[in-house]
Amino acid sequence: MSRHVLGIRYLETTEIDTLLALAAEFKLRVIEGREVPQITNKVVGMLFFENSTRTRVSFEMAANYLGLKSANFAAGASSMSKGETLKDTILTLRYERLDALVIRHRMSGAPHLAARFFGGPVLNAGDGMHEHPTQALGDALTILERKGQIEGLRVAIIGDVEHSRVARSNAWLLSKLGAEVRFVGPRTLIPTEPGQLPGIVYHDLPSGIDGADVIICLRLQKERMSEGMLSSIGEYASMYQINQASLAWANDDCLVMHPGPINRGIEVDDFTADGVNSAITAQIENGVFVRMASLYWGFGGGLEEVIEPRNQVTARKAA
CA atoms of 106 and 127, how far apart (whole Å) = 6
Q: Are 271 and 293 part of one and the same domain?
A: no
Chain-wide mean pLDDT for the chain? Answer: 91
Start-to-end Cα distance in the chain: 27
pLDDT confidence band for 313 (50 / 70 / 90)? very low
Q: Are 140 and 93 part of one and the same domain?
A: no
pLDDT for 226 beyond 90: no
CA atoms of 175 and 167, how far apart (whole Å) = 12
Q: Are 269 and 291 part of one and the same domain?
A: no
pLDDT for 113 beyond 70: yes
Q: Are 240 and 262 part of one and the same domain?
A: yes
pLDDT confidence band for 1 (50 / 70 / 90)? confident
pLDDT for 315 beyond 80: no
Q: Are 97 and 216 part of one and the same domain?
A: no
Q: Are 179 and 266 part of one and the same domain?
A: yes
Pairing of strands 214-217, 255-257: parallel
Check which CATH number belongs to the domain holding 295 and give it. Answer: 3.40.50.1370
Q: Are 268 and 291 part of one and the same domain?
A: no
Question: Does residue 15 belong to any structural domain of this protein?
Answer: yes
Of 174, 177, 244, 251, whose CA–CA distance to 209 is shortest? 251
Split into its structural domains, the chain has a count of 2
Question: Does residue 319 belong to any structural domain of this protein?
Answer: no
Q: Are 156 and 276 part of one and the same domain?
A: yes
DSSP bridge pairs for 103: 47, 124
pLDDT confidence band for 310 (50 / 70 / 90)? very low
Question: Does residue 257 belong to any structural domain of this protein?
Answer: yes
Q: Are 217 and 298 part of one and the same domain?
A: no
Instruction: Please list, in sequence order, all residues whose beta carbon lies within 8 angstroms of the beta carbon of residue 225, skipping any fewer than 6 positions away.
Output: 160, 163
288 burial class (0-12, 13-18, 19+ CB within 10 angstroms)?
buried
Q: Are 139 and 270 part of one and the same domain?
A: yes
Q: Which residue has the higher pLDDT, 224 or 195?
A: 195
pLDDT confidence band for 192 (50 / 70 / 90)? confident
Domain span including residue 267: 133-282
pTM of the model: 0.92
Of 222, 227, 5, 215, whose CA–CA distance to 126 is shortest? 5
pLDDT confidence band for 221 (50 / 70 / 90)? confident
CA atoms of 233 and 213, how far apart (whole Å) = 27
